[in-house]
Structure 1
Amino acid sequence: MTEAARLPTTSRLRQLGRGVRLPKRKRREQLLAVAQDVFAANGYHATAMDEIAERAGVSKPVLYQHFPGKLDLYSALLDVHVDELIAAVKEALSSTTDNKQRVKNAVGAFYDFVNSETGAYRMVFESDLRGEPAVQAAVDRATEAPVDAITKTITSDAGLSEDKARLLASGLVGLSQVSARFWLDNHNSISRDDAVSLIATLAWRGIGAGFPLQQ
């Protein structure tokens, strides 16, 4: 199981490890879980490594053994969240052979990511550190990897060239990302399921009707 799969379910790790020696992997998970809370509450610039170490119940040297600096810690956490999104999109595509349902599942993956209580999507899609190469690379990967996965599916099923399939995949990813973020800011007026269905229907009528499965 990857860090991306574990991090959203590691709330207990936030309190684990005070005065206890943890295996390196578990300690890293705990530090990432605590760091997520602090970054979400304070933002990057107002977050101090001292606070993360204190809340994790470790000394600063222990924290720096795992992450040499604040940007390294932030980048590692960002990578975890991007991996989480990519895994969700790939699962959405592989969970069924029904392409209409695949589209809906893929849209739903973005909505679930944006609606996560961790606030991870703000780190990925609204990062104010894009001038940092490591951060920009992770942010780019959050779009490029889902596009790659959807391109592969469209190319295989619709018989389109890779260039055409990639353009359609980019459209679906962009539609999902932007509408999900808009929905989050206004979601009191419409449920998650209704929003996903609306956007999936819009996408399917374009992709599914225009580019049917090739036998």
Structure 2
Amino acid sequence: MSAEPAAPQPRSGKTARLPRTARRFQLLGAAREVFVAQGYHAAAMDEIAERAGVSKPVLYQHFPGKLELYLALLDEQAHALVSSVQRALASTTDNHTRIARSIAAYFDFVDDPSGAYQLVLESDLRSEPAVRKRVENSFTECANAIADVIAADTGVGPAEAELLSIGLVGLAETGARWWLVTGGAVSKEQAVATMVELAWRGLAGYPRRTTGTDPTPARETTGDGDASSGP
């Protein structure tokens, strides 16, 4: 009896077809790894395509060039940060908790093992106008969300609320980056708590509107263990 013919083998180098959304997700994941490891300038589209297991033509079908690919990743990460801060603000009406969760959002953002936070907070392409605009927009969106809450709760004018919110965002971002750079010199929980109390002692000095939110300032613990009211 003659042997059955061998089953046809897939053509060498042929890329499996995926739905466009799934392919884009795959390409962004590969690009994220390369950009984080090497930075924008050292990254090569050849390496990104190889990491994704696709040909360069497939990569270029989705992204016309390296900058467009980088901007897509930057948009993804900036949106993740802004959304996290907005969720933190909307999650409660207790102002101390709002501050705590908003600051924690920054620490969680930099504590991502993928290192994707670098695209927003430590991009090596800030000189590129499109990149700079996106980074600035993410900062502004976070600040605006916080300013709206401050203005609604305290009654201060828009300009003062904006200034306070910019200070809070700057504190959260700088504190989170310090914690990361020092390799967790203090625990994440302690770092967040320290930044929260620093921010709260300043914001608690502003009068509260009667809107049903909790106006009670943070309580501090005295040396003998008794709790006393904050500022």
CA distance in 2, matches of 1:37, 1:91: 27
CA distance in 2, matches of 1:54, 1:68: 17
Q: Does 1:114 align with 2:118?
A: no
Larger Rg belongs to: 2
Q: Is the 8 A contact 2:77 2:116 kept in 1?
A: yes
Q: Pick the aligned partner of 2:208 from 187, 206, 213.
A: 213
Q: What code does the residue aligned with 1:120 have? A: A
Gaps of 5+ in 2: 1-13, 211-231
Question: Which residue is equivalent to 2:153?
Answer: 157
Question: Which residue is equivalent to 1:123?
Answer: 119
Paired residues for 1:1-215 under 5 Å: 19-207=15-203, 209-215=204-210
Higher helix share: 1
Q: CA RMSD in A?
A: 1.2
What is the CA-CA distance between 1:87 and the residue it aligns to? 0.4
Q: What code does the residue aligned with 2:197 have? A: T
- TM-score with structure 1 setting the length: 0.88
Q: Is the 8 A contact 2:77 2:120 kept in 1?
A: yes
What is the CA-CA distance between 1:121 and the residue it aligns to? 2.1
Q: Where does structure 1 differ by over 3 angstroms across 4 or more consecutive aligned residues?
A: none
- TM-score with structure 2 setting the length: 0.82
Q: Is the 8 A contact 2:81 2:106 kept in 1?
A: yes
- C-alpha distance after superposition, 1:128-148 (max 9, x if no partner): 211211101111012111001
Q: What code does the residue aligned with 2:205 have? A: G
Q: What code does the residue aligned with 1:41 have? A: A
Q: What code does the residue aligned with 1:89 have? A: V
In structure 1, the residue corresponding to 2:17 is in which secondary structure? Answer: coil
CA distance in 1, matches of 2:145, 2:115: 24
Percent sequence identity over aligned pairs: 52
In structure 1, the residue corresponding to 2:42 is in which secondary structure? Answer: coil
What is the CA-CA distance between 1:20 and the residue it aligns to? 2.4
CA distance in 2, matches of 1:23, 1:205: 52
- C-alpha distance after superposition, 1:125-178 (max 9, x if no partner): 221211211101111012111001001111111111111100000000000111
